[in-house]
Amino acid sequence: MILECPKCGKKYKIDEEKYFKEKDEVSLKCPNCSEIIKAKRGMQPKVSTSPTQRFKKPDDLTPEESDIPDAHLLAMPSELRISVAVLSGTDAGSVFAIDKPVTVIGRTGCDIVLNDPEVSRKHARIEIRGTSYTLRDLKSTNGTYINEKHIQAAPLEDKTEFRIGSTILMFLSTKDEY
């Protein structure tokens, strides 16, 4: 059986025999956002068929998102796993899962925190609009670079490498196997 979290939209495959062994109804915690998902034996799960169901309405934008072009189109892709891997720098080997359409990268108080003194407090952000991804510099002191070219905003693709401060990162977009 495949369940979809009503809060974050993440899909999970569960073994009905294991979970419904002695019960007709179970409550499971979404590993992605901790929302409680209720499931009944033999139920047909409600699975979204359109990624537009998770687009934000202009009234739902947070103050941080209000300066984002086309912010109302922000949405996570339905069947892809998005992450950022640190290739070199003090945090080399770290991999950060991205589970929301706006992810800020910086030195403190960000979604992805890097221990690099050349990284600004809020250095750059990744904006996700379905399967379209943008890396945007947030007026950082030392700039954001793709292929050693200084960028203000640039599209990202799977395996795009970029540098902020002295840290080199790689954007990853892989098929979500559930």
Per-residue pLDDT of the chain (178 residues; tens, 9 = 90+): 677 777 766 777 777 777 777 777 888 777 766 778 787 776 654 444 434 334 444 445 555 555 666 666 778 887 889 999 999 999 999 999 998 999 999 999 999 999 999 999 999 999 998 888 999 999 999 999 999 999 999 999 999 999 999 999 999 998 866 5
**3-class DSSP assignment, residue 101:** coil
In this predicted structure, what is the pLDDT of residue 35?
Answer: 78
In this predicted structure, what is the pLDDT of residue 144?
Answer: 97
Q: Do 122 and 106 contact (CB within 8 A), yes or no?
A: yes
Residue 140: name the closest of 119, 156, 158, 161 by CA. Answer: 119
In this predicted structure, what is the pLDDT of residue 53?
Answer: 39
In this predicted structure, what is the pLDDT of residue 60?
Answer: 53
Helices (H) and strands (E) in the chain, counts: 1, 15
Please tell me the distance from the alpha carbon of residue 31 to that of residue 119, in angstroms, as a whole number: 30
